[in-house]
Amino acid sequence: MTQNTTAAPAATDSAPAGQWWRDAVIYQVYPRSFADGNGDGMGDLPGITARLPHLRDLGVDAVWLSPFYASPQADAGYDVADYRAVDPVFGTLTDADELIRAAHALGLRVIVDIVPNHCSDRHEWFRQALREGPGSPARERFLFRAGRGAAGELPPNDWESVFGGPAWTRVPDGEWYLHLFAPEQPDFDWDHPAVHDEFRSVLRFWLDLGVDGFRIDVAHGLVKAPGLPDVGHGEQVKLLGKQAVPYFDQDGVHEIYRGWRRILDEYSGGSERIAVAEAWTPTVERSARYLRRGELHQAFNFEYLTTGWDAAALRAVIDRSLTAMDAVGAPATWVLSNHDVVRHTTRLSGEGGAGDGDGGARGTRRARAATLLMLALPGSAYLYQGEELGLPEVTDLPDEVRQDPAFFRGAGQDGTRDGCRVPLPWSGRRAPYGFGPVEGGPSWLPQPDSWRDLSVAAQTGDPASTLEFYRRALAARRAHPALGAGPGLVWLPSPEGVLAFSRTAAGGSFVCTVNLTGAPVALPTPGTVLLAGADVVPGAEETVLPADSAVWWAA
Ligand code: NOJ
């Protein structure tokens, strides 16, 4: 393995030279569930490398890899014990190097996760902090405090863990430490200069290896309000992202990212190295603050993700997002699924699980329409592995196979995250459907029998399949001059429950129509069909859009 930077792919899109990220389609790989190269039931880096041609054929621009670093896996790798090492379960540093090189050779950029809010309780710094005890310099890199109550038996404040329960754990010497997530994930104290130095060094480590950017985990969490004041009420998790709390979205985080941006710019050359913030803020305007000049490049649009199947609400969030991002010169981003939320085929079905009643069919129709809407909007889009196969959420995993820490700390199965993390089906008629090399071999979560018909192999070449639909959509998005970063959108008159907008570039105009109602709707025919998410017979004057469907038009 060498430490030299491999060449990033040449710009092939309509964004300004080097600014490939402005309209990129970025595909999230969740390493433990993508492809298992060695047959141990857990996905790994060689497995990903071997499957990269699937992503090239799909037509995405970049891959974002969730953490594959050394970790006891208390939170599926978001508890990092060594930021410069690959966990043996995923492979080696050489495998990471090979993955980056192979991706670049295929024209794919690579973004890796960085987890700066907290580490693992097995990280050397935290072990040292435990060993050296109260008052030691090693404790100052974390948030250790004395407890409240006569004997310090109560947590230092009322903050709650995002995974449920108090955000504090007491150690045998009587002090408490802060963990906004699981107890195995102690929060760093970002007032400490060593923490800053360490993360600048970690960024350089991965940039030297050739990565094209970072997804910043809990980007809004690093800085806590001075004095760690109480929130003042319980059930805080229900209000996260909706109201201000003293542990998220504090103004001090921005200075950190200005420093990180300088590092990214140093490495940028002809192709920019980027950072995308995972920042759950109360408004898109607050998210846009992470993207001001000299800060980060993109932020996930969680307000879009959490908006239901409702035309007026979607139009409002699209307008708000475009306005807020435009004000800071950043592209809007769009996302429907990731490893923390119910897959959108199921979420949009309007029913608890895929397959009950008409929920499965309706979920699939709506998911396709939602995908066409998302990919037609100005800016960049994030896809989550398996959505190109139309995978539903797995809603009936037995408790004994579950691994999400939120399941064990929360109120039970609802809202937990294993159901969107089930390993992908690639081929064959028997589990693990090509996820691992051996038919009948293991997979860390069981796959439903119905997934044999949803595998990559089963869908390839079938024009009616979700996979071929995604391939066509991504090819059309790349080819049409008015799509991608391109021009803004102009809303067209449309009946209630229908969205219609145009985008016009020098080389051609484009119209997107989406019927979000449960009944067919007739609309004036705006051009010729570029791509339809359902059967559509265009009329000379009018075209009937089926229920829950979208059409792209060349106008
Ligand atoms: C956000 C990640 O997406 C999630 O999976 C993780 O549990 C938390 N951050 C904590 O790192």
Query: In whole angstroms, what is the distance from residue 150 CA to residue 514 CA?
Result: 62
| 205-226: pLDDT as tens digits | 999 999 999 999 999 999 999 9
The one catalytic residue among 153, 197, 208, 266: 266
Label residue 4 exposed, middle or buried (CB < 10 Å: 0-12, 13-18, 19+): exposed
420 CA to centre of ligand 1 in angstroms? 14
Q: What is the pLDDT of residue 140?
A: 98
User: Domain 16-117+192-472 belongs to what topology?
Assistant: TIM Barrel (3.20.20)
Q: Is 418 helix (H, G, I), strand (E, B) or coil?
A: helix
Q: What share of the chain is helix, strand, coil (3-state, %, to 5)?
A: 30, 15, 50
pLDDT at residue 11 greater than cutoff 60: no
Beta strand extents in 168-295 (DSSP E only) = 168-170, 176-178, 213-216, 274-277
Contacts of residue 338, defined as CB under 8 A and 6 or more positions apart, other chains included, come to 28, 300, 305, 382, 384, 420
Tell me whether residue 449 is one of the annotated catalytic residues. no
**pLDDT band (50, 70, 90) for residue 2:** very low
Q: What is the pLDDT of residue 107?
A: 97
Q: Hey, what are 507's tokens?
A: 């080389």
What ligand 1 atom has the least distance to the C-alpha of 278? Answer: 1
Domain boundaries, the chain: 16-117+192-472, 124-178, 485-554
| 449-464: pLDDT as tens digits | 999 999 999 999 999 9
Query: In whole angstroms, what is the distance from residue 367 CA to residue 243 CA?
Result: 29
335 CA to centre of ligand 1 in angstroms? 16
| 226-270: pLDDT as tens digits | 999 999 999 998 888 888 999 999 999 999 999 999 999 999 988
User: Domain 124-178 belongs to what topology?
Assistant: Oligo-1,6-glucosidase; domain 2 (3.90.400)
Contact 252, 223 (CB under 8 A): yes
77 half-sphere exposure, CB direction, 13 A CA radius: 25
The sign of the torsion formed by the CA atoms of 237, 69, 305, 546 equals: negative
The total number of residues shown for the chain amounts to 555
The residue to mutate among 75, 180, 220, having the most atoms of ligand 1 within 8 angstroms of its beta carbon, is 75
Contact 425, 504 (CB under 8 A): no
The residue to mutate among 71, 162, 218, 382, having the most atoms of ligand 1 within 8 angstroms of its beta carbon, is 218
- Around ligand 1, the residues with Cβ closer than 6 Å are 75, 78, 115, 181, 217-218, 278, 339-340
Q: For residues 533 and 190, which has the higher predicted lDDT (pLDDT)? A: 190
Protein residue whose Cα sits closest to atom 5 of ligand 1: 340
User: Residue range 28-54: average pLDDT?
Assistant: 98
What ligand 1 atom has the least distance to the C-alpha of 405? Answer: 7
Q: What is the pLDDT of residue 355?
A: 44
What ligand 1 atom has the least distance to the C-alpha of 118? Answer: 11
210-224 burial string, b = 16+ CB within 10 Å, else e? bbbbbbbbbbbbbbb
Contact 206, 212 (CB under 8 A): no
Is there a shared CATH topology between the 124-178 domain and the 485-554 domain?
Answer: no
Tell me whether residue 387 is one of the annotated catalytic residues. no
78 CA to centre of ligand 1 in angstroms? 6
521 CA to centre of ligand 1 in angstroms? 41
pLDDT at residue 12 greater than cutoff 50: no
**pLDDT band (50, 70, 90) for residue 413:** very low
User: Domain 485-554 belongs to what topology?
Assistant: Immunoglobulin-like (2.60.40)
What ligand 1 atom has the least distance to the C-alpha of 79? Answer: 11
The residue to mutate among 32, 78, 83, 276, having the most atoms of ligand 1 within 8 angstroms of its beta carbon, is 78
| Tokens 């439903």 found at | 448
Which of 138-147, 406-415, 439-448, 454-463 bottoms out in mean pLDDT, i.e. has the lowest? Answer: 406-415
Query: In whole angstroms, what is the distance from residue 236 CA to residue 229 CA?
Result: 14
Query: In whole angstroms, what is the distance from residue 448 CA to residue 457 CA?
Result: 17
User: Residue range 417-425: average pLDDT?
Assistant: 96
535 CA to centre of ligand 1 in angstroms? 39
200 CA to centre of ligand 1 in angstroms? 21
